[in-house]
Amino acid sequence: MHATLPLLVATDFPALRRNRPDTLQVNLGYTCNQSCLHCHVNAGPNRTEQMSLDTIGQILDVLRQGEIKTIDLTGGAPEMNVHFRTLVEQARALGVQVIDRCNLTILDEPGYEDTAQFLADHQVKIVASLPCYLEDNVDKQRGDGTFKTSIRVLQRLNALGYGAEDGALSLDLVYNPQGPVLPPSQANLKRDYDHFLGEQFGIRFNQLFTITNMPIQRFGSTLISKGQFHSYMDLLRSAHQDANLGSVMCRSLISVDYLGYLYDCDFNQMLGLPLKVAGKGRRHLTNLLTETMEGNPIVVADHCWGCTAGAGSSCGGALA
């Protein structure tokens, strides 16, 4: 994939430097119960890569230093890592906020039926993928029956207290476009989600995040097969907004792969572009115990235009 996508050549994307990191986005492995078309990780049921308990111990060592306030758990389906609960329990015991990037359907799989209660018991923030509020669109992107399962799980989460206005158990939803287009207005789309999901299914949630599809891995391959890759890159570049540069997630987030190596963001991780420190080799979790990353140059390539196009895009949704 890296050789196929013309992203890893010289880019004229603006240079960026890090602020002080306060978030670790941790990829617990590529195993997933789904194989979504927009997945930039290329995750699926046949992927076996998983973070070990030793590496999770290194994450906890970093958290004990106190500078990292949030761990953002992703995958694959992060819940499918056998050490998921150990990490959540010990991170929460340290007072660290935990985000679970959940595909919803995993919470309905055999063996995971009590995971929703576990997440509620430990006040884990859920950021859940629901790429549309219409059944046909969701099933087209994520597989037949996905929408009905997702609705059933959302209702179960609501029954546990997720999505209430007080935000004590935060439930946010994530929208991805169906194809090579920019997301619509996040605020307007949230109103549509609120209305439809509330009226049809009695579902409540806190925020909606619109995320631009990145032209890498499975989605990038689809663009190439349809002859749409270059036109999509032109769209991202032409929609660039300088105002988004100050809020891109790589300024305050460090991405960690399942082996414990460091990247400026999850997208760089999937492209094999490691975080760089001048004069030093590949950086690992253990280096965070003795090194500061503040002020470090961020590795950029052409896919970065996806984060600054239009209203901007990050793991926390639109930037503007």
Residues 277-304: tens digit of each pLDDT: 988 999 999 999 999 899 999 999 999 9
How far apart CA 65 and CA 138 sit, in angstroms, is 41
Answer yes or no: are the C-beta atoms of 48 and 92 closer than 8 Å.
Answer: no
Domains, the chain, in order of start with CATH, read: 23-213+247-299 (3.20.20.70)
Q: Residue 216 pLDDT > 50, yes or no?
A: yes
Answer yes or no: are the C-beta atoms of 292 and 22 closer than 8 Å.
Answer: no
Give the DSSP H or E segment for 125: strand 125-129
How far apart CA 235 and CA 258 sit, in angstroms, is 32
How far apart CA 293 and CA 265 sit, in angstroms, is 13
**135-177 pLDDT per residue, tens:** 988 888 778 889 999 999 999 999 999 999 988 999 999 998 8
208 pairs with which residues across the strands? 173
Q: Residue 36 pLDDT > 70, yes or no?
A: no
Q: Residue 2 pLDDT > 50, yes or no?
A: no
- 7: tokens are 């992203």
- 207: tokens are 């925020």
pLDDT of amino acid 168: 92
How far apart CA 178 and CA 220 sit, in angstroms, is 13
DSSP letter, residue 134: S
